[in-house]
Each structure stands twice: as C-alpha cells, then as structure tokens.
Amino acid sequence: MTTNFDFEPVRKQLEGLINSRVELVITSGLYKGSYSARLEDIGENQVGVSHPMLRGALLPALRNMELLMKIETSACFYQSTVSVLRSVINVPVPLLWVRLLTPLEKVQRRMFVRVSSSIKADAFFLEAEVEPQDSRLPLREWFPVRVSDISLGGVGITIKQALTHFCFEGGRYLLLMSIGGMRFFIVGKLVKILKKNETNIEVGLAYEGLPASTEKLMGGYIRQQELITRG
C-alpha cells in the first residue's frame, strides 16, 4: 500500500491531537493484538507514538509492518492504516515512528456505544503481559462470567467474588459467548477492575480485534438493545 494523499491537512488535524491515547492494532502474525500508546510528535509525513510494550519490553516492530492506528478523543476516534518506519529508543520516551498510508478516518463514538446485557459466558486466562512480582498468575482453566455490558470496543464482565483469583489486570483472556444462538470466541485484555462488592467483582475487557462476522453480530445485538432501552 502506498501513500497517495496530501499529508499537510492531516498534519493540522494531528497537531491538535498531541498527547491523545492511541491504540495500535496488529491483525495477523506472531504479535497479533492491540497495543496502547500515546501520540507524542508529528514529523515530515510521519507520526511518532510512545513505543508500545509487550510483556514489559518494547514490542518488536519491523520496518514496513502495516497496522491500524486509532487515536481517541472525547468526541470520536480517528483511524488510519500506517506502516512502521523506525524505532527510537535512546530518548527518555522511546518512540515508534510510523507513516500514514491512508487519510485519517473519523469514527463517531456511537459505533462504540455501550449497552447493558445479561449474557452468560465463559472465560479462560491465557497469559500476562508482565509477570507479577508479588502474586501468582490465575489458573488456566475455564470459569463462568456474565457479560453485564457490551460495545464494539469491549465488554464489562461480572464475576462471582469466589472466583476473583482469576482476575489479573493486564492479563489476556479468551472469552466464549453466544448471541442469538451463535457461539464465538473473543480475545481481550483485562484493562481495569471497576468495582467490587460482597458478592461480585466487575472488570472491563478490551478486545484485541473483532472478526467482521463477530462485529456484525454484536452490532445487531447492540442496536436491538438500544431500541429496547428507548422503549
């Protein structure tokens, strides 16, 4: 894929987004997944983001590797396909410089609207991005959960208090759930423990990417729940 658009208008957009949260998505290969970063600098036809991490080390990023860059703002998301130019690590904040291959696309947050649900599911702990220093990793076995809210970006999960030993912030999980009789798997990262009470704990799981068929199924369910809520 080659760049075939004027970068200057994009530069003006990006300058107003410095320090915004960035999500870099690798859709295939050994390092498939979603990685957090931050927009740090704008160069000549290129963008510098804080270098994403993998298990406590810098994510290996080969030159010309293509990935999806999503920039988050309070009102919307901007996204573009980018390719890796170089890593700069001998600075206080290591940077990954990428070149935009497509113009910035504005994505309304409505696409990521979150609706309440009550879907029974099962989860399986896969691995931790960073090995814990003072705690043991969760057991690698299936355990029951309830999907309490859902969007195209992630889900809120309610877990029985007796199963809280399965919760590991930053851990990667495999989620098996069903919508409309269709069963499917999702891989995501436990990004935050939201709240606890005497019986349950609630956590947020961010997807590492959704297959088109799964996204379509979820989108239909979300729209249906919106209509029910509106009455």
194-230 tens-digit pLDDT: 777 888 999 999 888 778 788 889 888 888 887 776 6
Assess whether pLDDT exceeds 90 at residue 45: no
Confidence (pLDDT) at 97: 96
Residue 161's Cβ-count burial label (10 Å; 0-12, 13-18, 19+) is exposed
Assess whether pLDDT exceeds 60 at residue 2: no
* Final residue belonging to a domain, choices 109, 143, 167: 109
* Final residue belonging to a domain, choices 78, 109, 140: 109
Residue 118's Cβ-count burial label (10 Å; 0-12, 13-18, 19+) is exposed
Q: Among the residues of the chain, which ranges form H helices? A: 7-15, 212-230
* Final residue belonging to a domain, choices 109, 141, 173: 109
Compute CA distances 17 → 21, 109, 130, whole Å.
9, 16, 29
145-190 pLDDT, tens digit per residue, is 999 999 888 899 999 999 988 888 888 999 999 998 999 999 998 9
What range defines the domain where residue 190 resides? 113-230
Compute CA distances 192 → 170, 171, 189, whole Å.
8, 10, 9
129-138 pLDDT, tens digit per residue, is 766 666 678 8
The answer to whether position 1 is within a domain reads no
Higher pLDDT, 112 or 113: 113
The answer to whether position 2 is within a domain reads no
Same domain as 124, residue 90: no
The answer to whether position 152 is within a domain reads yes
Higher pLDDT, 1 or 90: 90
Assess whether pLDDT exceeds 60 at residue 71: yes
DSSP secondary structure code for residue 227 in this structure: H
What's this model's pTM, rounded to 2 decimal places?
Answer: 0.56
Q: Give the mean pLDDT of the chain.
A: 86
CATH number of the domain bearing residue 213: 2.40.10.220
CATH number of the domain bearing residue 69: 2.30.110.10
Classify strands 115-128 and 76-88 as parallel, antiparallel or unpaired: unpaired
- Give residue 94's pLDDT band: very low, low, confident or very high (50, 70, 90): very high
Confidence (pLDDT) at 195: 75
Q: Which of 1-10, 80-89, 104-113, 120-129 has the lowest mean pLDDT?
A: 104-113
Q: What percentage of the chain carries pLDDT values higher than 70?
A: 91
Into how many domains does the chain fold?
2
Task: Let me know: does 141 contact 176? Beta carbons within 8 Å.
Answer: no
